Amino acid sequence: MTRITVQGLGLVGGFGTGCGALAQALALGRSPRSSLEVPTGAGPVLLDAFRADTGALKDLISPKVLRRMDHITRMALLAARLALADAGLEASGHEGLGVVLASGYGATASTYGLLDSMINDGDACTSPTHFANSLHNACSGNLAIALGANGPNLTVSQFDLSVPSALLSARQWLLDGRVERVLFGAVDELSDLTGYLWYRQHGPTGPGPMSPLRTRAASALPGEGAAFLLLSSRAEAQPGYCTLENVVLGPGPMPPTRNLLVLGADGRTATGARYAAAAEGAQVACFTPLYGSMPVAPAFDLAVAALMLRAGTLYPTPSGAPCDFPCVVAPAGPLAGQGLTCLALGDDGAFGSVAMRPISP
Amino acid sequence: MNRTEPVALTGLGCICALGSTVDACCAGLFQDQRHLAPPSRFTSAHAIRYPVFEVRGFPEVPGLLRTSALALHAAREALADAGLDAAALQGLRVGVVVGTTVGSTMNDEGFCRAHRADEEPGLAPMERILNSNPAAVLARTFGLRGPCQTVVNACSSGTDALGVGAAWIRGGLCDLVLAGGADELGRITYNGFISLKITDEAPCRPFDRDRKGLNLGEGAAMVVLEGAASHRRRNRRARSFLLGYGSACDAYHPTAPEPQGAGLKRAIAEALAGAGLPPEAMAFVNAHGTGTPENDRVESRALQAVLPGVPYFSTKGFTGHTLGAAGAIEAVFTAVCLEQGRIPANLGFSTPDPELGGTPVAQATTVTGLAALSESLAFGGNNAVVVLGKGEQA
């Protein structure tokens, strides 16, 4: 059986940039909040949000190239470069490297830019740049160019299940021997569109922390960011973070597992009760309060799981309000070789689970 | 890449400007039908009314994107063709993978217009999009219990979806996969392609010296992919076999193909290796052939280099460029052409272009081979190829 390992992580989100920033947030149990100004009919509304700062890219990319890049591509490229560096790989020239990207909403700012150009300037002045950037796979195409990654390239959009769905194909490529390495990533952005959507669905954000393990508490905060994992089926020089054991998708319920569950619950009432049902009787952890609610948050769950499996230590679940799920919140401490399963639920009752294990010597 | 296990196509479904069934569409290919006209479902302020290939008379489904409704239509035909009803599907692990470009894009012009005018638009248009993810719609409608994936690889999405579905079957993840592509025509896509200056105001002329661009189209095609065990158990005739799939990214330019067709050549090589067949075993190539100057130049030259002497044609002159649906529609056409032992004329071609190094099939022709290749090129530098084999006798 082919063994797939996670060799590198690249992250940018509300907690900051890089694995160190996420590890620090995990240790502290909180991330700094920022804000998002949302245009509404009653004037701008300010929401609390977890925003990603891509300023670190200016040290990696020429200003000329950077100027042409939209925010979602900047987040993805920064995280991709960090994942490659973390895996000990060069920044470019990746002959045959596979790229798989998941995005729930895609390039919503460029989509609005495209529509703005049509609405404000007329059909004949539709922006070709915004049109090209509005396509879901523009981001992965730009990544391929920037990284010289000329292997297979796949973008998947399955809203809240984008991450497990895309990961299923990334894993299959490795098992089939199509490629030996896949740069797997996920990205979603906050924009006028997604901000408004959020505001209308959830209302103003509250002052308290996210409390995702309470069934009826609407405590979600919007987030954005990119999380990339360098997956490999090679016998790599460095041991890596963990192994990717399995990815399962279906209409639910999830098959039983002995692994500790990392729940994708994010304080939305729409899914709270179903996460509670899925977690019944299990030992769980949940880290969404560190990066917020977004369709691709499960990719950050994978990154946290990878960090914990390599360290052999379970980080504490950031405490919000008390848990009312019928489960046990696992205390911080040694993992003792235990595997982790990251669970994501879609709005329609479907689930996606990703099982990961520590690397055995 | 090693040789891969063939995956049976036991059901086909298709809807496009040529017709609303596989039979109607394929009959149209051999009757030189071209239902090209200015858009009837939307208006635009362009001085030129660029013609398109619409699916006329297709009913709108409340609360559902037209893209997903088209996918559902094709899926119903494919399932019926495969002899699968709701009861038969219940006991099987059935996955669904659909390629699209606009099927999950958060772009509603009316919503944006109201929002930008400082109004407070209701969320119904956005909820309609969120409720219309094409793969999720099919899974929900047919009660499918396997994995679900919407591929958004621009114009290669439909071909990639077939490759993904076949991999799921070979990997033991599913007994069956409903795979294909779907895309609708709308003002945003229409204006977007015109802004790129790659749209022809006349009928498109793939591989012709005087080609000026593409005509947009819409439609959907779905196939039932079936693993060997399920295929044997159900004793259902395979209409074709997916023998190989390959894909590669140019990593060159966001919207233009790499001039030497390097990515396309790698994708073809992977698909042939998977099929375990040499280039000369290909009876024909159903090319991407959009009619844009750059695509056709790169594609034609790549075909001369790696598949010399193999007849090729584009069906975009019959259907227009149906974007995320194109690869799936053309795979269905390829399967039927193998089945019927004939290929259509490359509609729109009349004058050879010396720059291309070859000419497409100028008139309907009989073919005798057992395998053929269908390929798609896309924005983002994606290239995707499937090798299909002739099916079993009826």
Residue B102: φ, ψ to 5°: -105, 0
Is B324 part of the contact surface with chain A (CB cutoff 8 Å)? no
> B106, A111: Cβ pair inside 8 Å?
yes
Contact with chain B for residue A33, Cβ under 8 A: no
- The residue whose two tokens read 């209308």 is A200
d(CA B361, CA A360): 58
Does residue A101 sit in helix, strand or coil?
strand
Closest residue to B115, CB basis, from A134, A178, A196: A196
Amino acid B1: pLDDT: 65
Rounded Cα distance between B363 and B168, Å, is 38
Contact assessment for residue A17 and residue A82, using Cβ atoms and an 8 Å cutoff: yes
E-strand stretches of A125-204: 153-156, 181-188
Counts of helices then strands in chain A (DSSP H, E): 10, 16
Tell me the count of A-B CB pairs closer than 8 A: 213
Q: Which residue of B has its CA nearest to A146?
A: B251
Nearest to B247 by CA among B127, B372, B384: B384
The beta strand positions in chain A, using DSSP E, are 5-13, 16-17, 34-38, 45-49, 98-102, 153-156, 181-188, 225-232, 242-250, 260-263, 283-286, 313-314, 328-329, 333-334, 340-345, 351-357
Active site residue B115: no
**Whether residue A253 has pLDDT greater than 90:** no
State the average pLDDT over residues A240-253: 94
Closest approach of chain A CAs to the CA of B197, in angstroms? 9
Q: Where are the alpha helices (DSSP H) in B12-149?
A: 22-29, 66-81, 86-90, 109-116, 124-130, 134-142
Probe site for chain B from A65, A97, A123, A137 (most B CB atoms < 10 A): A137
User: pLDDT for B345-371, tens place per residue?
Assistant: 999 999 999 999 999 999 999 999 999
Nearest CB partner across the interface for B2, out of A140, A168, A177: A177
Contact B380 A153 (CB under 8 A): yes
- Residue A83 CA to residue A167 CA, distance in Å, equals 16
Contact between residue A343 and residue A260 where contact means Cβ atoms under 8 Å apart: no
% of chain B with per-residue pLDDT over 90: 96
Nearest-CA distance from B295 to chain A in Å? Answer: 16
d(CA B227, CA B307): 29
Mean of pLDDT over chain B: 96
Query: B382 and A151: CB-CB below 8 Å?
Result: no
Residue of A nearest to B126 (CA): A197
- Is A321 within 8 Å of chain B by CB? no
Residue type, A147: L
- Closest approach of A311 to chain B, Cα-based (Å): 32
Pick from A126, A147, A156: which is nearest to B152 by CB?
A156
In angstroms, rounded to a whole number, what is the distance separating the alpha carbons of residues B288 and B261? 13
- Is B337 known to be catalytic? no
Least confident stretch, A16-20, A203-207, B140-144, B334-338: A203-207
- Please indicate whether, in this complex, the C-beta atoms of B105 and A106 are within 8 angstroms of each other: yes
Catalytic status, residue B321: yes
Question: Could you say which of B149, B195, B251 has the minimum Cβ distance to residue A128?
Answer: B195
- Residue A320's pLDDT band (boundaries 50, 70, 90)? low
Mean predicted confidence (pLDDT) in A203-229: 92
Residues paired with residue A48 on neighbouring β-strands, in sequence order: A35
Low-confidence ranges of chain B (pLDDT < 50): none
Contacts 24+ apart (CB under 8 A), A51-58: A51/A14, A51/A190, A51/A224, A52/A12, A52/A13, A52/A14, A52/A224, A52/A225, A52/A226, A53/A12, A53/A16, A53/A17, A54/A12, A54/A78, A56/A12, A56/A17, A57/A81
Among B47, B107, B160, whose Cβ lies nearest the Cβ of A154? B160
The tokens for A293 are 């609610």
In B, minimum Cα distance to A163 occurs at: B149
Residue A106 has pLDDT above 70, yes or no: yes
Q: CA–CA separation, A259 vs B171, rounded Å?
A: 24
- The overall longest dimension of chain B from CA atoms, in Å, is 63
CB atoms within 10 A of CB B27: 14
- Give the integer Cα–Cα distance in Å for A17 and B168: 35
Angle (nearest 5°) at CA A192 between A190 and A193: 85
Within 8 A of B1 by CB-CB distance, chain A residues are 177-178
Q: Is the Cβ–Cβ distance between A101 and A185 less than 8 Å?
A: yes
Considering chain B, what percentage of its residues have pLDDT values greater than 70?
100
- Report, as an integer, the average pLDDT of A233-239: 91
* Strand-pair category, A225-232 with B219-226: unpaired
Q: Which residue of B has its CA nearest to A195?
A: B115
pLDDT score recorded for residue A38: 96
**What pLDDT sits at residue A258?**
92
pLDDT digits (tens, 9 = 90+) for A334-349: 999 999 999 999 988 8
**One-letter identity of residue A182:** V
Distance between first and last Cα of chain A: 16
Cβ atoms of A149 and A81 closer than 8 Å: no
Q: Does any CB of chain A come closer than 8 Å to the CB of residue B110?
A: no
Distance CA A284, CA A259 (A): 9
Give CA–CA dist B300/A74, Å, rounded: 35
Cβ contacts of residue B73 below 8 Å, gap of 6+?
A: B13, B15, B20, B58, B220
Interval A29-43 mean pLDDT: 94
Per-residue pLDDT band for A321 (boundaries 50, 70, 90) equals low
Residue B233, CA distances (Å) to A279, B169, B175, B236 in order: 38, 15, 11, 8
Q: How far apart are CA A285 and CA B322, in angstroms?
A: 45
- How far CA A240 is from CA of A178, A234, A236, in Å, comes to 21, 11, 8
Amino acid identity of residue A39, one-letter, is: P
Q: Which residues pair with A45 in a beta bridge?
A: A38
Cβ contact B225:B269 at 8 Å:
no
Peptide bond into A253 cis (omega under 30): yes
For residue A91, what pLDDT band results from cuts at 50, 70 and 90?
confident
Is the CB of residue B240 less than 8 Å away from at least one CB of chain A?
no
What is the CB-side half-sphere exposure of residue B253 using CA atoms within 13 A? 12
Chain B positions touching A140 (Cβ under 8 A) are 380
Confidence band for A1, pLDDT divided at 50, 70 and 90: confident
C-alpha dist (Å) from residue A96 to A10, A356, B54, B155: 20, 25, 38, 21
The pair of three-digit structure tokens given for residue B73, joined into one six-digit string: 């239509």
Residue of B nearest to A99 (CA): B249
Poorest-pLDDT segment among A215-219, A220-224, B269-273, B365-369: A215-219
Longest CA pairwise span in chain A (Å) = 63
pLDDT at A68: 86
Residue B216, chain A, CB below 8 Å: the answer is no
Beta-strand runs (E) in A23-126: 34-38, 45-49, 98-102
Q: By C-alpha distance, which of B172, B163, B281, B152 is closest to B227?
A: B172
Judge whether residue A205 has pLDDT over 90: no
User: What pLDDT is stored for residue B54 in this prediction?
Assistant: 98
